[in-house]
Amino acid sequence: MAQEHTSRIPGFYKRPLTERAALVAQWAALSPQEQAALLGVAGLNPAQADHMIENVVGVYGLPIGIATNVLISDVDVLIPMVIEEPSVVAAVSNAAKLFRANGGFRTSSDEPIMIGQIQVLDLQDVYVAAGAV
């Protein structure tokens, strides 16, 4: 797949919030619903949260920032970061810019050495269940 955009976005931090959000939405091809969720227009409400986990007493919102300049194994990426600590997103973006000048980050992996298993009991039809997975 040809790279059509770059995570190198000079002056990203200087743009207004709505412009940054629109730029990310375009960059990531977000739907209007995803765009609305990004800006908190359609977020998690207490009733939804109460059905997700136990003992809900409220919901907690944090800012979503974007680390720019990130190049990982020749692929440009924008890194979403949910954090309340100031300067962290800027520090990551700045470090990524320095790494980018030297080819960015490189990834590699070893062959897996572990497997995971799940035991499922009391199935009426093993083949139907396996097909559903």
* Architecture per CATH, 12-108: Alpha-Beta Complex (3.90)
Neighbour tally for 21: CB within 10 Å: 17
pLDDT single digits (tens) 24-57: 999 999 999 888 877 776 567 778 878 888 787 7
Q: Give helix then strand counts, H and E, for the chain.
A: 5, 2
Tens digit of each residue's pLDDT, the chain (133 residues): 444 689 999 999 899 888 998 999 999 999 998 888 777 765 677 788 788 887 877 777 778 899 999 999 999 999 999 888 889 999 999 999 999 999 999 999 999 888 888 888 888 998 998 888 7
Domain extents for the chain?
12-108
Burial of 71-107, coded b for 16+ CB within 10 Å and e otherwise, reads beeeebbbbebeeeeeeebeebbeebbebbeeebbee
Longest dimension (CA), the chain: 60
